[in-house]
Amino acid sequence: MKIRLIAILSTLFLIACNSQESPEIQESMETAASAQADAPAPAATPEPTGPVYALTQLEGDLYHATSDAHSTLVMLTSEGAILADPLNVGFAEWLKSELATRFDTVVRYVLYSHHHWDHASGGGVFSDTAELVGHANMIPGLALPLAANYVPNDANLDGSIQRSEATGGLANNFDFMDENSDGKITGTELNRFITAPTATYSGAEHSVTLGGKEVRMVWAGENHSNDGSIIVFSDYNTAFGVDWLAVRAFPRQLYGAHIDAWIEVTELLAGLEPARIVPGHTSHGVIGGLEDARAYAQMYRDLNEALQAALENGESKEDFVISISLPAYSEWVRYDASLPVIAGQAYDLATQ
């Protein structure tokens, strides 16, 4: 802009200096100055479109990988890589290429946190080199008419999700997920990109070892889903939790699970005493530590204490939602937006 202004002023100066020139010359110079003044500004550089992928070193051979707001972990070993959630197909293809180019390695294990499509859809990309591992409940979970966390959306109880019923990521991706464009999404459409695990575990825990490094899968109980695993990268004392885990942030909802289930899983996480905790969504807060895990569990205990007091006092749901206050967590992300939501859901579940 400064350069253009100087050019205009220079032209006008020349017009003034040549005031004795012929009218034709003056007119020509004035026209040139006017054209420069009216010239459009240079076009702005367009913003990037499409998903943004990243692979960032956390510590040693442990890397944090993201696909927009979705998150996962990758650990390199001398015999290949261990990957937590494969997220989506586009990300998985990018990561496969990135690992080959940057590290000359391939994925040997994919460890599913649970079966939901936005975290598990990319598994098949690695099936040529990797064993895909999940909790045993993942198999029947993939066969359900709808994943359990979407059942509350099914207001008309027809076993599918209409556009008007879709929320969050499902609403944002409705047209993509609605494969036959009939205006509703079935469980089959939700799961069509998910490759079932080639190995499963049941019970409390399972571990895999590769290149002398260990990763544990700890069953997360029944909350956001019943096939969830806390994935612990033992060599870095780092725990990865998906959808149910937030760090210095409130969850968006309780996904139909009683508050006791949330207390149980957060206490389980804190009891593992991880030095680092990583949520499966970057929108669920930052990467945190052990004190964050303990604080998250305490938040649910505090919420439950307030709920029990309200029930004992005969307080209505409406009054409880209006009056609920947990000032110790007022600086957390979504405090004002989510606390009333999860408080109302906790009240409903406790009184059903």
Domain for residue 159, yes or no?
no
Domain for residue 218, yes or no?
yes
Residues 203 and 296 in one domain: no
Residues 135 and 114 in one domain: yes
Q: Per-residue pLDDT for 18 more than 60?
A: no
Domain for residue 329, yes or no?
yes
Domain for residue 164, yes or no?
no
Kindly report, residue by residue over 283-315, the tens digit of the pLDDT: 999 999 999 999 999 999 999 999 999 999 999
- Which of residues 192 and 28 earns the better pLDDT score? 192
Task: Judge whether 194 and 136 are in contact, CB under 8 Å.
Answer: no
Split into its structural domains, the chain has a count of: 3
Residues 267 and 298 in one domain: yes
Residues 309 and 216 in one domain: no
Record the pTM.
Answer: 0.83
Domain boundary among 242, 257, 273: 242
Domain for residue 178, yes or no?
no
pLDDT of residue 29: 43
Domain for residue 142, yes or no?
yes
Domain for residue 307, yes or no?
yes
Over range 214-218, report the average pLDDT.
98
Residues 34 and 85 in one domain: no
CATH number for position 219: 3.60.15.10
pLDDT of residue 17: 39
pLDDT of residue 170: 85
Query: Picking from 176-185, 203-212, 215-224, 301-310, which range would have the lowest pLDDT averaged per residue?
Result: 176-185
Q: Per-residue pLDDT for 329 more than 50?
A: yes
pLDDT of residue 275: 98
Residues 92 and 225 in one domain: yes
Kindly report, residue by residue over 93-132, the tens digit of the pLDDT: 999 999 999 999 999 999 999 999 999 999 999 999 999 9
Residues 321 and 236 in one domain: no
Q: Does the CA dihedral 151-152-156-161 come out positive or negative?
A: negative
Range of the domain at 278: 244-352
Residues 283 and 342 in one domain: yes
Q: Per-residue pLDDT for 318 more than 70?
A: yes
pLDDT of residue 53: 98
pLDDT of residue 252: 92
pLDDT of residue 5: 38
Domain for residue 157, yes or no?
no
Residues 311 and 206 in one domain: no
pLDDT of residue 42: 52
Residues 236 and 254 in one domain: no
Residues 342 and 211 in one domain: no
Strands (E) located in the chain: 53-59, 62-67, 70-77, 80-83, 107-111, 131-135, 161-162, 184-185, 199-201, 205-210, 213-219, 229-233, 238-241, 276-279
Residues 83 and 222 in one domain: yes
Q: Per-residue pLDDT for 189 more than 50?
A: yes
- Please, is 336 exposed, middle or buried when counting C-beta atoms within 10 Å of its C-beta (0-12, 13-18, 19+)? exposed
